[in-house]
Amino acid sequence: MVVKEYDSPCGLLYMASIGGELCLCSWQGLSACYGIFEEADKPSGAAGASDYRSEWDVLEKAVNELDEYFAGERKKFDIPLRLYGTDFQNRVWSELLKIPYGQTMSYSTVARIIGAPRAVRAVANACARNPLSIFVPCHRVVSRIGKLTGYAGGLEAKRMLLDIERGVAIPEVEAG
């Protein structure tokens, strides 16, 4: 596993790759890597053959795709992803990948689509545990009435991501 920081316009992200796939893009700091390490060490989560150069290549591609995304030039990510989670979490995250760029969906709608209409809180919890923020667009999930609610990167980051997808210009941040 290789880990890299990415200073996005919305805040610092920690990214990691394993087995030639991106497995982490997190607002949570390096502590988020520990869970990935534990999952990767399990027999069912075996990472497979990997080398340092290929891991860096994955992270560099992820950085390039994020740069394009934040510039408003990328609407779909091509980076290979590796998701570590429960079956339920993976069902939720798979559904999030289907939410079109610039659109939102409610937690209750996600719950209904995955066949668990009473599991709205569990869907919200799966979104909160999403290890691949932005790439698996949990920022596109909102309350039933369209209100922005919980996001690991904070509500301002969620608002900025949705604004980018709606074509709203993000102000330049001055170095200082």
Active site residues: 138
C-alpha–C-alpha distance, residues 136 and 43, integer Å: 25
C-alpha–C-alpha distance, residues 159 and 170, integer Å: 11
C-alpha–C-alpha distance, residues 153 and 7, integer Å: 13
Strands (E), 33-118: 105-106
- Mention every residue, 6+ apart, whose C-beta is less than 8 A from residue 160: 9, 10, 170
